[in-house]
């Protein structure tokens, strides 16, 4: 199974404004590989995940393509009708691990009941206990309600729900939010295991340390655009885009120096490079929008 995103853009229409949430995104993700989509909060990362699954609100306009290719007849997730997404894609071809798993669980039903319902809807014959065991849960953990689950348990329940239909592609949207470092490491190790088992995994995160543990490739997003695509090892040893360098320099394990300034509002993006006001390399050339155009970085000075 391969995911190929080609020119994906998302706009939200508001009274008197238009939010440019994702602009001309292009990347590929193959089976057995993990792509980490990283960047500051509010840059459009989670919108990308919801666009792939058709989970955007009614005021969104999505253009471009997102091909899910597993054989002779690729499926364009952008053009697919809701019936196809609901019956063929969600849970069966793409499993979603949502941000803040406990908040996505039904509060008045046990984890067991929710796993059983998901298995039944997907037509699976496995038992909730078997699914829980694969996710590192004990059978008695399933008899708890969401408010009785620790952060780690809720994360494992979310993992089990995402894997219930045995999907070839997993989308993990900020899977480490609110977790302490040992649980972050355990969650990343589980996602890495899914890759090693042959699944494709898209991890959306602002946690670069977590991304380094699991990713084969890195896509850096800034102000709705992907500005750098790289293999993970060369990215962490020497990123090309000045924004990517700023993200790494802000880590406590590195220089611990934050990027000055703030990202632009997605309702008022400039015509040129959106990073220009914060960039130490900015020149007059940056008044023109740098594009990837087959390159691995969108920067005039990379």
Q: What is the pLDDT of residues 115-142, one digit of tens each?
A: 999 999 999 999 999 988 888 888 899 9
At residue 153, does pLDDT exceed 80? yes
CA distance readout (Å), 194 to 113, 172, 199, 287: 25, 12, 6, 43
What residue ranges define each of the domains in the chain, with the CATH number in brackets? 30-54+77-287 (3.40.50.300)
Q: How many residues does the chain have?
A: 302
What pLDDT digit, counting tens, does each position of 78-119 carry? 999 999 999 999 999 999 998 888 778 999 999 999 999 999
pTM above 0.85, yes or no: yes
pLDDT value at residue 70? 76
What's the pLDDT score for residue 87?
93
Contact 301, 281 (CB under 8 A): yes
């Amino acid at each position: 199974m391969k995911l190929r995103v080609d020119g994906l853009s998302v706009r939200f229409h508001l009274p008197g404004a238009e939010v440019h949430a994702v602009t001309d995104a292009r990347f590929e993700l193959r089976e057995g590989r993990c792509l980490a989509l990283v960047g500051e909060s509010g840059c459009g990362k989670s919108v990308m995940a919801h666009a792939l699954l058709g989970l955007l609100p009614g005021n969104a306009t999505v253009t471009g393509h997102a091909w899910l290719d597993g054989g002779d007849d690729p499926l364009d997730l952008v053009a697919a009708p809701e019936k196809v997404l609901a019956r063929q894609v969600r849970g069966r071809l793409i499993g979603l691990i949502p941000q803040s798993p406990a908040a996505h669980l039904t509060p008045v039903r046990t984890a067991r009941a929710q796993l059983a319902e998901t298995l039944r809807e997907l037509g699976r014959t496995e038992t909730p206990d078997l699914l829980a065991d694969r996710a590192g849960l004990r059978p008695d953990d399933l008899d708890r309600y969401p408010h009785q689950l620790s952060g780690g348990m809720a994360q494992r329940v979310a993992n089990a729900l995402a894997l219930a239909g045995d999907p070839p592609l997993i989308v993990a949207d900020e899977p480490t939010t609110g977790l302490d470092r040992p649980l972050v490491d355990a969650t990343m190790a589980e996602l890495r295991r899914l890759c090693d088992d042959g699944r494709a995994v898209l991890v959306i995160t602002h946690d670069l340390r977590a991304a380094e543990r699991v990713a084969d490739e890195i896509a850096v997003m800034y102000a709705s655009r992907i500005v750098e695509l790289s293999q993970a090892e060369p990215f962490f040893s020497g990123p090309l885009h000045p924004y990517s360098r700023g993200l790494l320099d802000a880590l406590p394990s590195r220089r611990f120096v934050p990027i000055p300034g703030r990202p632009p509002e997605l309702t008022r993006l400039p015509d040129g490079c959106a990073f220009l006001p914060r960039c130490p390399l900015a020149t007059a050339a940056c008044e023109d929008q740098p594009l990837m155009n087959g390159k691995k970085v969108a920067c005039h000075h990379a």
